[in-house]
Structure 1
Amino acid sequence: MKRQGGFTLIELVVVIVILGILAVTAAPRFLNLQSDARESSLQGLKGAMAGAAGIVYGRAAIDGVEGVSSVTAASSATGIALTFGYPSATTDGIGNAVDGLGANDGDWIAVSGSGSTATPPVIHYSFSGSASDTTCFVSYETNASAGAPTITVTNTGC
C-alpha cells in the first residue's frame, strides 16, 4: 500500500498560529497609514504655500508693490490680495495663490474662526469636509511688518 504524502493537522495548526502571531505584530504598523498620509498632505500644503508666497512676492517686487501694507485682489496684477508683497491671510490672498485652496476646488477648506480679524491676520486650512478641525491643519500668518509669512503645521490629531 502506498503511503500518502501531505501535511498533518498539527503542522497546519502550527503554521496558522505562526501566521497569526506575525499578523498581530505587523498590524499596528499598517493601521496608522491614514494618519501618516494626512500629516504628509499637510507638509505638502505647507510647501505649496511657501512656494506660492515666494513666486507672488517676486511678481509684487517686479510691480513695485512689495512695500505696500495692503493691496486688494481687484487692484493686484495677479488677482491675489497682498500684504507687503506676500499673499494675505485670506481666501482672496493665499487662497487664490495656491491651487486647491479655492472655494470650489474641494481639496482644502478654510477652518471656521480664522481669517483677517486676527492680529496679525492668520488663516487655517484643513481637509475638505472637516471645517471645525482644530487639531490637523496648516496655518498661514502674515507678518505685521514687511517680512515673509509664517506657515506652520498642526498635526496633533490627524
Structure 2
Amino acid sequence: MKVKSFSKQQAGFTLIELVVVIVILGILAVTAIPRFTDMSKDARIAAVNGMLGTVQSASSIAHAQALVSNQNAATGTITMEGQTVDLVNGYPSTATGIRLALTSTGFGGTAGSFTLTGAPTPASCAVTYAQPAALNGSPTISSVTTGC
C-alpha cells in the first residue's frame, strides 16, 4: 500500500512581501518626482535655445536674399513669405524686420527682443537681436536663460 503525501503549496504573496514592495515603490516615487518637476525649466531653456537658432537662421536667410537682390546697401526691403522685411546694413532691422522674417509662437516682446511667454522672469528668459552697426558687420544675437 502506497501512502501519498500532500504538501501544502503557497498560493500568492504574503502580507509582509506586499508591504515591502509598496514601501520600495514609495521610496522610488519620492526620489523620482523632483527630477520630473525640474524638467519644466529644462523645457523652457530648450525653447529659448530653439528660438536663438530660429533668429540666427532667419537673419542669415534674409541676408542671403538681400545679397541675391543686391540690397546690401544701408537700407532696403525684401519680401519673405509675403512679408516686407526692412533691412539695415543687409540684415533685418531690429525694430520691425526680424519679427517679420520669422514666426515666433510662444514668444512675446518688442522690437528685437523675444521673451518666452509663461517664464517665471520673461526678461531673463529671452533672445535678443540687434542689427549690425556697419555695412559689412554681423548682427548681434544672444540669449539669456537665467530666468527660465
TM-score bracket, shorter-length normalisation: 0.7 to 0.9
1:87 matches 2:87: no
**2:3 maps to which residue?**
none
1:14 matches 2:15: no
1:43 matches 2:49: yes
Tell me the percent identity.
Answer: 40
Q: Is 1:61–1:85's contact at 8 Å kept on the other side of the alignment?
A: yes
**2:124 maps to which residue?**
135
Q: Which runs of 5+ in 1 are unaligned?
A: 101-105, 116-122
Q: How many residues align?
A: 136
SS in 1 for 2:132: coil
Deviation string for 1:38-97 (max 9, x for gaps)?
1111111111111111111111112222131x33xxxx132101111111112x211000
Q: Which runs of 5+ in 2 are unaligned?
A: 1-5
1:155 matches 2:145: yes
Higher strand share: 2
- In the TM superposition, structure 1's runs of 4+ consecutive aligned residues that sit over 3 Å from their partners are 1-4
Rounded Cα–Cα distance in structure 1 between residues aligned with 2:46 and 2:72: 32
**1:109 maps to which residue?**
108
Q: For residues 27 and 41 of structure 1, do their structure 2 counterparts lie closer, same or farther at Cα, with a shift above 3 Å needed? A: same
Rounded Cα–Cα distance in structure 2 between residues aligned with 1:32 and 1:145: 43
Q: Is 1:124–1:137's contact at 8 Å kept on the other side of the alignment?
A: yes
For residue 4 of structure 1, report the CA deviation from its aligned partner. Answer: 5.1
1:77 matches 2:67: no
For residue 128 of structure 1, report the CA deviation from its aligned partner. Answer: 3.5
SS in 2 for 1:153: strand
Which one has the largest radius of gyration? 2
**1:119 maps to which residue?**
none
TM-score (norm: length of structure 1): 0.76
Rounded Cα–Cα distance in structure 1 between residues aligned with 2:12 and 2:24: 19
Instruction: Compute the RMSD of aligned alpha carbons.
Output: 2.1
Deviation string for 1:109-158 (max 9, x for gaps)?
125xxx4xxxxxxx21112466x721111111222223111111111121
**1:27 maps to which residue?**
33
